[in-house]
Structure 1
Amino acid sequence: MRNVPLSQIDATPRAVLAIATDYPPDTLLPRHVHRRAQFLYGMSGLMEVLTDDGAWVIPPGSGVWIPPGKPHQVRMRGVSTRSLYIEPTALPRPGPLCEALRVQPLLHQLLLASAEVPALHDEAGRDGLLLGLLLHELGQAERLPLFAPMPTEPRLAALCQAFLAQPLIHARAEAWARQLNCSPRTFSRRFREQTGLSFGQWRQQACLMAAVTRLAAGEAVTAIALDLGYESPSAFSSLYRKVMGHTPSAARHGA
């Protein structure tokens, strides 16, 4: 199915519905919620996802898992998508949080083929088998560290929001602790309690998110590396490749 609103078919008695949608550049989908879980795959372009839990950046060739009942906002930057909408009784992934997921070649091809599956498909036939394999592969998909969880404590949340607007890889936990009038040890404990990550892990993920956005816009690798505070473009490229599985130059050219 292509460019069909979910509301028209949501009641269809099928565990999985697949919809392909093309979005104009810079489309904003305001905060909304689905009864079904959603896997949103960007065939092209960049997606920025915001929930009460934090912010995600989803580069081309990756997808975001959105649990059922999770309010979310998505900005589409030149994106053509494939979406799977999954009944809460058939979820392939546990947990209450969104996840950025790497889409491997088999999952990619299955998502391409899913656009031809009608809403009222034969669950025992080829279409049902295809969607069943999709669910299996989705359950096995690797999570990408492109999420910056937001703390609930207002002063700490304000520091995190300011950092997301201007990330620097060499930001020090000690400096944040001084702003919050607490010891570095207390700050580290509070930060992990609030976000589930160490300060260093959160800082790295926030910087990667900024890098992904700027690479998708075609900015130079050297400029991004230096703006984010890395010692050299090679140091930035090495870390980016280790985490993302490809070089920033490849990402910049749409690989």
Structure 2
Amino acid sequence: MRALLLSTLILMPVTASAQAGGGIGYPTVAAALEALKSKQGARVSTRDGWTIVDDRPANAIWSFTPAGHPAHPAVVRRGIVEQGGGIHVAMTALCQADKVACDKLIEEFKELNAGMAQALQSKPAPAQATAEQAQAVERQSMIYFAAVDGRRYEAAYQLQSEMLKKQMPFEGWRKLSEDFNTRAGEVRRRTITKISWYKDPPQAAPGTYAAVDFSAQFANMNTHCGYLVWMRQDDGYFVLVREEQNSIDQATEQKLKPEELARLRAQFRCKD
């Protein structure tokens, strides 16, 4: 659902290595996967045999080849970066198979990036929502926040779509949510800053979507913001299909210069 929020996408040069792992920050594919599995804020899922890590703190997606793939073991990291006033895709890879298989893997991902760029060249068409729909989405968002903040995880999880549940089973999602609540402390404020509506956005199932930008403040965290994406069902009910949140704890924030904090808040799309 990131297509809802990115207006431009420019491909950057791709680097790949069949031996050294300096480009991805880990010496081997196995070391990268092991480290990411325990990384705070990273979500691990399996799709068609591939292990996918949504590294939200780094704004990156890691794709690990399944056993039996010609290029196995290999990993491709794709990250969204802001540069020169635009948004770009930076891609690096580590492939420990033979060169022919590795080269083919990289070419396949280049094609995926090209298709993604083409799909994102046009903005999703804004949709008009009724007052009743807008109220329903705002109410649903606050119910979700209240359930998570109140540690009523089963109630919050039931608001998610079946696809989202498949990407993150309940126990894994509950642990991430509990860890965050413990670090953040008591919630002080939750604010919905904007609701944007979209009809049939690229790279998503056809339908009507509401992107809800929010900000929050906790006892141990002054900067916390992100967005929820809700999809309207045939019966008029809205289910959660995407969630992204970014935060800076107070200890880290105190070490930042004002301009550094402002830059991070802009990168996180924080709005007070």
In the superposition, the TM-score normalised over structure 2's length comes to 0.24
Between 1 and 2, higher relative CO (CA 8 Å, sep ≥ 6) is seen in 1
**Greater per-residue helix proportion:** 1
**Greater per-residue strand proportion:** 2
In the superposition, the TM-score normalised over structure 1's length comes to 0.26
